[in-house]
Amino acid sequence: MTSMNRPEFYQRLAEILDVEEVKAEDRLKNFDEWDSLSVLSVLAMADSKYGVAIRAEEIRSVVTAADLAGLVEAKQE
């Protein structure tokens, strides 16, 4: 897998969260749509677009969008 294209990642996250834009420092819990359905969409995205599996505990431990991107990136190695 090539190293992650962060802007593309944030764009995909924005689609899941149904917002115009997601910035690296945005806190996930502040998004209206950050709920169990979005979590499933993120898991699906991580699997289909990045080939990695994220655990439930790991998702619960991230705070910002950058954290989430970092989590996915780390698993790609």
- Report the SS3 class of residue 64: strand
Nearest approach, Cβ of 55 to other proteins (angstroms)?
7
**Least spacing, CB of residue 28 vs other proteins, in Å:** 14
The two structure tokens encoding residue 39: 């979590």
Amino acid, single-letter form, for residue 53? A
Q: Which residues bind other proteins (CB under 8 A)?
A: 18, 33, 35-37, 39-41, 43-44, 47-48, 53-56, 59
Burial status of residue 68 (CB atoms within 10 A of its CB: 0-12, 13-18, 19 or more): buried
Joined tokens for residue 29: 């819990």
Q: Give the residue with the Cβ less far from other proteins, 25 or 44.
A: 44
Of the pair 22, 42, the CB lying nearest other proteins is at 42
Looking at the Cβ atoms of 6 and 49, the one nearer to other proteins is 49
